[in-house]
Chain A
């Protein structure tokens, strides 16, 4: 084995990947969840202002209906936190969150 190869082997032994602590995952998911919520609120404000113009009704309604199905992605992060905080099952948290999304969509469509 050449000197370079030996040093490479030593580097592989020394620079092993380091697992992040679990508290970091929790902290990150909380932070990202807050960010996504803020972004969603911003988007909702834009949608409401867009709805005042009848020309935007169909595209906006379509976006809300399509988007509500995809909202599961965002909700999953929040659901995980709820699961940890309240010790409920992930399924219940997800169902509760999805009901919240559905209520929100219904309210918007009624306006």
Chain B
């Protein structure tokens, strides 16, 4: 039973519905932001068995939406990214990656922050990693890796066949997932990290993201330890 070096993926769904149910204005992402803060902090301070956390902040499809709410997600992201730059965790032991195929379409202010974070945490000796997936989608990640692999092959004409390691290097997040948590009640993966989800244990919870607590996260980790993972054996 794998007890350490875990990679957790989170699909934080349900904020819109939460806003409706709680009579909060659509686009007021404060509670979602708070939950994100709490969970990230909790994971990296209370769960030493977790090495990597990937949070799907925005999909490739959402980037295209001509939405009032999209802009507000960006301002939330800006706020969060600014916060991340301040916390000591980031300097000392945590590497932060912002990944996505559609990063180019994200507002400049967000891009600047992601660049600053990348620069700041590049030197981190940390064995812990936080991946913030913005303008990200598993399908596009694979298509991008395929195109990159094709270009690579052209530049290496003596190679007969692309090795697995070459292809995987072109993925945005190379490490396979051990756990995926999706809040908000839907039981679909919606294209989250297709290649990496191979033998991940899936947890679908009805709780809407803004209501998701660290206690519920711990219960999921307890559950995970009880599961029997066979990897095909």
Asked if A pairs with B, the answer is no
